[in-house]
Structure 1
Amino acid sequence: MMGARLTRVFKSFNLESRAHREIGKAKPTPAPRYPVAAATQDYPDQFQEEIKKKDEHLHALLKEVYVDSRDPPMIVKNSGGSLPSKTEEHRLAKTGQLAHLDVKTIPKGKISVIEALTLLSNHHHSPNEWTAETIATEYSLELKDVTALLTYFIPFSVKIFPPQDKKAIQPR
C-alpha cells in the first residue's frame, strides 16, 4: 500500500509544468496530401465528373487490344441427370479371411492393407515363387513400388536383445 502512494507522488510531481512544456513544443507538419484525396473532400461533384469522363487516349489503346478466348467443351449430363464421374480402372480385391470387412474394388496401382500383408507374407515364405515381378503383375502395381515395398516394409520382424546384466531373468 505504501509503494502505491509513493509511486503516485512521483507520477504527479511537477505535472502542470511538464504539461505546459509539452504543449509549447513545435508540432510536426503533416505530410502533404495526395491531390486526388484532397479533391474528393473539397469538391466531391468535380470528382464524380472526372470519373465519368471518357479518356480518348486510353480508349484508343484499348481498341488495339485483341482478346481471343475459347470456352471448354460443354459437359453433357448422362441420362440419370448427373455429371459423369472420373473413370478409373478398378480391379477386384484379392479376398482373404476378412473378406466381409475389406473393400470390393480397388483402383489399379493400389492395394488394400490385407493384400499388402498377404503379399509380404507370401514373399517372406517363398521368395523364389513370389518375386517382385510376379507380385507386380498379380496386383497390377508398378515394379519400382513393389521393390520398395519388399525392401523397406518389414511388418513381422521381431528382434530379442540379450540382457546386459547377469541378474536378469533368462528365457526358458
Structure 2
Amino acid sequence: MGAAVTRAIRNVNLENRAEREISKMKPSPAPRHPTTKSHLRDQMSSHPDIKKEVDRKDDRLLSLLKDVYVDSKDPVSSVQVEDAGTLQAPKEFRLPKGHHFDINIENIPKGKISTVEALTLLNNHKLYPDTWTAEKIAEEYHLGQKDVNSLLKYFVTFEVQVFPPGDKKAIQSK
C-alpha cells in the first residue's frame, strides 16, 4: 500500500514537470581561467585556420553518420535462460501431523513445519526427551538433522512457574 501511495505522489504532474525541465535554458560552459583565455587568444591569433577547422562541418562524415542504423536488443540474462531450460521438479508435500486440521493448511512442503507442529514437537521433546530425540523428530517431520538440532537448541516453549509465597501473611487465592 505504501509503495502505491509513494508512486502516486511521485507521478503527480509528471508531464508538466518534465516539460518545464526540458524548456529550461541549457547551462552555459564554465568560465575559463584567465590564464587559459590568454593562451587560447595567442593560439588563435597565431593560427587563424584552426578556428575555421573547428567550426567547419564535414559533409562526408555527416553522410556516413546518417547511414548508421543502430538496432539494439537487451541481452538475455543467464537466469532467464536457466529457468526456461530446466523444468522444476514437483515439490514433495506431506500432511500435517496432529489434530489441528481446522487450520487452512492442506499440505506442507517436506523440510518445513507449521507453527503448531513446531510447538508440539518442542513440547514433546521437553516432556519426553528420551522418546522424542532429534533423530526421531527429523524422521517424523521430514526435516534435516541439522535444522532439528538448531530448533531444539535455540527454541523453547512457554513455561509458567508459580512460586509459593515466601511469608505466611500473603493473601491466599480462592
TM-score, normalised on structure 1? 0.47
Structure with the bigger RCO (C-alpha within 8 Å, sep 6+) is 2
Larger Rg computed on CA atoms: 1
